[in-house]
């Protein structure tokens, strides 16, 4: 710290920098502290002086790479690698790899049921360790986006697989033997375009008045009408979807959306409640008015949490139940 005097004998202020470092995730943050000293105040009529000091801390976050971090643990973009991880982020590396893999899945780099590159190849692609890649893949497997097959590799999950099917359709027969052998008959009651009411538009992140595709259908198992579905879809991604295509397709509608329209449902939110059938519903389900039904209200999402389907399902529960496995 230095004191200086100007020509008028007035004390001058000097600045003294102090540096402290805080390291986190291989990135150091410098904070520079400046000490402002109002060293001496002189009075023309008095020789008394008064020393006052005030300290101000200005956080100047200046990120720089820690020289002790191994280069292989840095994003590829930071040292000339071929792949693209975010250049400036404090997220853990495995989360960066996970997001990059999600982006590749969304872009269609690997199609459903296709094998993705091995962990070794991905580690080279992103210039990270095998452990980092493995942790990223573990999270995508837990999300249901990837499936590991022992001795074969890691594959892009599809709604055509049994384990994915049960994530979105949990209605089970009270007779287990019927589940594998039952044949589903699909009766398309209605399939038309309409203007989105405000509530549906808001739920699907659309503008009020945008075009929706509305489908009402009845699913019958072993000839018994069991499920009544009302489905609302944004019209643009499902251009070309017709009643005939819905009726003739023998697999799940989610497989149809995935294969024919490239729209993949990756998660869903559901609300369950008990209700009683009204006259219209009772006629379609061939049951008495006031029959107890299980109502499921579902919003299905594709990548980036974009809602692409609203489905209201009414299930007869005299021969079926809703089953969910936790853990």
Question: Rounded to whole angstroms, what are the CA distances from 169 to 220, 273, 284, 317?
Answer: 15, 16, 21, 15
* Each residue's pLDDT tens digit, 48-77: 444 443 333 333 333 323 333 343 443 343
Among 128, 156, 184, identify where a domain stops: 156
Q: Where are the alpha helices (DSSP H) in the chain?
A: 93-106, 119-126, 130-142, 162-168, 176-181, 198-203, 243-248, 253-261, 279-285
pLDDT > 90 fraction of the chain, expressed in percent and rounded: 38
Q: Is residue 166 part of a domain?
A: no
Q: How much is the pLDDT for 102?
A: 86
CB 188 within 8 A of CB 180: no
* Total-model pTM: 0.61
Do 307 and 220 share a domain, yes or no?
A: yes
- Does 158 or 291 have the greater pLDDT score? 291
Contact residues for 230 (Cβ-Cβ < 8 A; gap 6+): 214, 215, 216, 311, 312
The residue segments making up the domain with residue 152 are 71-156
Question: Are 111 and 202 in the same domain?
Answer: no
Q: Are residues 202 and 290 in the same domain?
A: yes
Determine, yes or no, domain membership for 90: yes
pLDDT at 140: 87
- Quick one: 94 and 112 in the same domain? yes
Would you state the torsion angle of the CA atoms of residues 169, 172, 178, 181, taken in this order, to the nearest 10 degrees?
A: 10
Q: pLDDT band at 143, cuts 50/70/90?
A: confident
For strands 292-302 and 306-316, give the pairing.
Answer: antiparallel
Residue 180: give its domain's CATH number.
3.40.1410.10
- Token pair in block for residue 76: 């590829």
Please tell me the predicted confidence (pLDDT) of residue 237. Answer: 93
Q: Is 297 part of any domain?
A: yes
- Quick one: pLDDT at residue 290? 96
Q: Which of 114, 131, 156 is the last residue of a domain?
A: 156
Q: Given 65, 93, 108, which residue is the final one in a domain?
A: 65
User: How many structural domains comprise the chain?
Assistant: 3
pLDDT, residue 83, reads: 56
What's the pLDDT band for 86 if we cut at 50, 70, 90? low
Q: What is the pLDDT of residue 163?
A: 55
- Shared domain for 75 and 210, answered yes or no, is no
pLDDT tens profile 216-242:
999 998 889 999 999 999 999 999 999
pLDDT on residue 17: 45
**Average pLDDT of the segment spanning 109-121:** 87
Contact predicate 82/76, CB 8 Å: yes
Which tokens hold the place of 134? 């493995």
pLDDT at 169: 60
User: Residue 36 above 70 pLDDT?
Assistant: no
């Amino acid at each position: 710290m230095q004191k200086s005097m100007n020509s008028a004998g007035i004390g001058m202020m000097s600045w003294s920098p102090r540096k402290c470092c805080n390291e986190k995730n291989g990135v150091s943050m410098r904070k520079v502290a400046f000490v402002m000293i109002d060293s001496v105040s002189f009075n023309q009529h008095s020789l008394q002086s008064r020393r006052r000091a005030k300290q101000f801390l200005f956080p100047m976050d200046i990120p720089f790479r820690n020289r002790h971090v191994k280069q292989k643990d840095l994003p590829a973009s930071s040292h000339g690698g071929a792949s693209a991880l975010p250049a400036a982020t404090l997220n853990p590396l495995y989360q960066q790899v996970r997001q990059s893999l999600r982006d590749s899945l969304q872009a269609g780099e690997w199609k459903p049921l296709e094998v993705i590159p091995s962990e070794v190849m991905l580690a080279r692609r992103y210039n990270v360790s095998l452990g980092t890649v493995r942790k990223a893949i573990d999270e995508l497997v837990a999300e249901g986006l990837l499936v590991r097959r022992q001795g074969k590799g890691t594959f892009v999950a599809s709604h055509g697989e049994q384990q994915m099917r049960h994530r979105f359709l949990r209605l089970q027969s009270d007779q287990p033997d019927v589940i594998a052998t039952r044949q589903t008959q699909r009766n398309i009651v209605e399939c038309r375009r309409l203007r989105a009411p405000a509530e549906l538009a808001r739920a699907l992140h659309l503008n009020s008045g945008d075009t929706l595709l509305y489908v009402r259908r009845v699913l019958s198992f072993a000839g018994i009408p069991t499920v009544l579905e009302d489905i609302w879809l944004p019209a643009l991604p499902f251009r070309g979807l017709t009643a005939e295509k819905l009726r003739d397709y023998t697999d799940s509608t989610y497989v149809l959306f995935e294969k024919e329209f490239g729209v993949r449902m990756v998660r869903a939110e559901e609300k369950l409640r008990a209700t009683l059938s009204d006259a219209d519903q009772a006629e379609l389900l061939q049951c008495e008015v006031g029959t107890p039904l299980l109502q499921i209200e579902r919003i299905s999402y594709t990548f980036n949490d974009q809602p692409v389907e609203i489905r209201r399902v009414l299930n007869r529960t005299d021969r079926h139940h809703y089953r969910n496995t936790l853990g």
